[in-house]
């Protein structure tokens, strides 16, 4: 191999590695994940692009959001199976847009719109929850659509996946090499999650209260520990003392204040 060519290739490899490391180091280093965005203090709609931008503004590590699937196979961001009273699974995207607006005037966000807004920065991760659907067939269709959108937008560096559906979680693990997937449902012990390839356990705080040894087990196994939905200062203090990795909360501002104490 020509020496100059070898040196050039080596320089490109080193530059690429440095850029990748810089990008990894750019994410906010804290435990705060805003549940459905940072919406409460500013009276913003949950799961809106405005609440995502607020979570970014206040410096959260992550902003969690929920993805549902319309009748005409559009992935949209909404927590419940209905959008302001209109069933999502039996409605087209346009029907949802025409039906109502969020309180700040936004239409129901599509996953594409939401990811594009979140990708304008490299500080706050996008914690993407794929919601269970009425059938496994629809769960697979939604998950495929989510993966395709993330790939098309090259959004993978921003994304960490969470889900209540064991099927969805295993599907992402099997089809997205290197995906960070955490399980929400709470019935599986840490060793089972590790065995199945999950990145972490993301359980309600009551699950850890009933299974107080699971935090240590998860740490010993190298699993990431996230706890939801923690809104009381006393609970935040207890979890911080146990050195969990992340806390998902409707009160991100309060959690920041609690961390500083």
Per-residue pLDDT of the chain (261 residues; tens, 9 = 90+): 454 543 343 344 434 434 443 455 799 999 999 999 999 999 999 999 999 999 999 999 999 999 999 999 999 999 999 999 999 999 999 999 999 999 999 999 999 999 999 999 999 999 999 999 999 999 999 999 999 999 999 999 999 999 999 999 999 999 999 999 999 999 999 999 999 999 999 999 999 999 999 999 999 999 999 999 999 999 999 999 999 999 999 999 999 999 999
For residue 182, the Cα-to-chain-centroid distance in whole angstroms is: 9
Which pLDDT value is given to residue 25?
Answer: 75
3-state DSSP assignment of residue 144: helix
Do 165 and 135 meet the contact criterion of CB atoms below 8 Å apart? no
For residue 24, what pLDDT is reported?
A: 55
Q: Would you kindly state where each structural domain of the chain is located, as residue ranges? A: 28-260
User: Do residues 130 and 34 make contact, with C-beta atoms less than 8 angstroms apart?
Assistant: no
CATH topology of domain 28-260: TIM Barrel (3.20.20)
β-strand partners of 127: 64, 160
Task: Give pTM, 2 decimals.
Answer: 0.91
Single out the residue of 67, 6, 56 nearest to residue 26, CA to CA: 56
Q: Are 184 and 199 in contact (CB under 8 A)?
A: no
Which region, left, alpha or beta, applies to residue 95 given φ > 0 means left and ψ of -120 to 50 means alpha? alpha
Of how many residues is the chain composed? 261
What was the pLDDT predicted at 18? Answer: 40
**DSSP-derived 3-state class of residue 215:** helix
């Amino acid at each position: 191999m020509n020496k100059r060519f070898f040196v050039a290739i080596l320089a490109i490899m080193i530059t690429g590695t440095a850029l990748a490391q810089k990008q990894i180091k750019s994410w906010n280093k804290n435990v705060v994940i805003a549940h459905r965005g940072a919406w409460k203090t500013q009276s913003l709609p949950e799961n809106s692009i405005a609440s995502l931008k607020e979570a970014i503004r206040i410096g959260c590590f992550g902003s969690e959001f929920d993805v549902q699937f319309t009748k005409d196979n559009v992935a949209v961001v909404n927590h419940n199976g209905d959008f302001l009273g209109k069933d999502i699974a039996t409605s087209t995207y346009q029907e949802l847009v025409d039906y109502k607006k969020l309180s700040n005037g936004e239409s129901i966000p599509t996953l594409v719109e939401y990811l594009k807004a979140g990708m304008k920065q490299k500080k706050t991760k996008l914690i993407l929850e794929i919601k269970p659907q009425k059938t496994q067939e629809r769960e697979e269709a939604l998950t495929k659509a989510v993966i395709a959108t993330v790939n098309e937008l090259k959004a993978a560096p921003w994304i960490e996946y969470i889900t209540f559906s064991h099927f969805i979680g295993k599907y992402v693990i099997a089809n997205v090499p290197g995906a960070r997937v955490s399980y929400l449902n709470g019935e599986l012990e840490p060793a089972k999650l590790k065995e199945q390839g999950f990145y972490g356990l993301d359980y309600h705080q009551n699950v850890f209260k009933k299974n107080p040894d699971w935090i240590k087990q998860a740490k010993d196994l190298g699993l990431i520990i996230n706890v939801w939905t923690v809104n009381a200062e006393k609970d935040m203090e207890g979890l911080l003392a146990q050195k969990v990795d992340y806390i998902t909360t409707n009160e991100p501002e309060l959690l920041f204040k609690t961390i500083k104490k």
